[in-house]
Amino acid sequence: MRHELGRTLLTAEQIAARVAELGAAITADYRGKTLFLACVLRGSAVFWADLCRHIALPTVTDFCAVHSYGDGTDPSGVILLSQDLTLPTTGREVLVVEDIVDTGRTLSLLRAHLLTRQPASLRICALLDKVERRQVPVPLDYVGFTIPNEFVVGYGLDFAQEYRNLPYIATLKAI
Ligand code: IMP
């Protein structure tokens, strides 16, 4: 099925303002500590790049990658941690930076894995929360926006690896 961009859900200005607020909240909550940012590739790269510059704390960043099979708009069954963090997280204040929480299955798996790496604390910051779609409960400590049950692209989020470079977030519609 072919797709095209639908309506703009979040403008670049709305995203920038909210990311600044998240950075300020994170800065306040972790004051006096060094924060370990765990950026989940690939969709979170743009969000991480903006968010980290609003965090006025010493930070360490590492990247991990989670692959859910299929290029469609419906997340399919198999989720794989295709790249683990490379730095030790034992005793660190770890904050997972995630683009979007849909069913919750990806973050639930990642969270369980990261807890085995014995961080001092483990929190999650997600830019977008499609709360209506949740199948697996996952605790979200920081959320940028709660959005409706629609497939969205832009600001790092893709459809079949396209649209990640859009500076705003839009819906995708079948044509
Ligand atoms: P989960 O269903 O919460 O496990 O989400 C799995 C992954 O599906 C997310 O990390 C995204 O990479 C992707 N995803 C879910 N919803 C969307 C969407 O609306 N646009 C783009 N990617 C999405």
Residues 76-103 have a mean pLDDT of: 94
Q: Is the CB of 22 under 6 A from ligand 1?
A: no
Coil, strand or helix: which one is 77?
coil
Q: Is the CB of 23 under 6 A from ligand 1?
A: no
What are the backbone dihedrals phi and psi of residue 117, each rounded to the nearest 5 degrees, phi first?
-90, 10
The Cα 19–Cα 26 span in angstroms is 10
Phi-psi region of 160 (alpha: psi -120 to 50; beta: other; left: phi over 0): left
Q: What is the pLDDT of residue 1?
A: 75
- pTM higher than 0.85: yes
Model confidence at 75, pLDDT cuts 50, 70, 90, reads low
Q: Over the stretch 96-144, which tens digit does the pLDDT of each residue have?
A: 999 999 999 999 999 999 999 999 999 999 999 999 999 999 999 999 9
Q: What is the pLDDT of residue 71?
A: 55
Q: What is the pLDDT of residue 70?
A: 58
- Residue in 81, 102, 151 to alter for ligand 1 test, most ligand atoms within 8 A of Cβ: 102
- Residue in 100, 103, 124 to alter for ligand 1 test, most ligand atoms within 8 A of Cβ: 100
Catalytic residue among 102, 129, 141, 158: 102
Q: How far is the CA of 153 from the centre of ligand 1 (A)?
A: 10
Q: How far is the CA of 11 from the centre of ligand 1 (A)?
A: 19
Q: Over the stretch 63-74, which tens digit does the pLDDT of each residue have?
A: 999 987 655 666
Q: How far is the CA of 31 from the centre of ligand 1 (A)?
A: 31
Q: Is the CB of 43 under 6 A from ligand 1?
A: yes
Q: Over the stretch 21-68, which tens digit does the pLDDT of each residue have?
A: 999 999 999 999 999 999 999 999 999 999 999 999 999 999 999 987
Q: What angle do CA 101, 151, 159 make, to 5 degrees?
A: 100
Q: What is the pLDDT of residue 67?
A: 86
Residues 89-96 have a mean pLDDT of: 98
Cβ atoms < 10 Å from Cβ of 79? 18
Coil, strand or helix: which one is 22?
helix
Q: Which domains does the chain show, CATH number per domain? A: 3-9+19-33+44-95+111-174 (3.40.50.2020)
Residues 74-83 have a mean pLDDT of: 80
Q: What is the pLDDT of residue 19?
A: 99
Coil, strand or helix: which one is 133?
helix
Does the active-site annotation cover 102?
yes
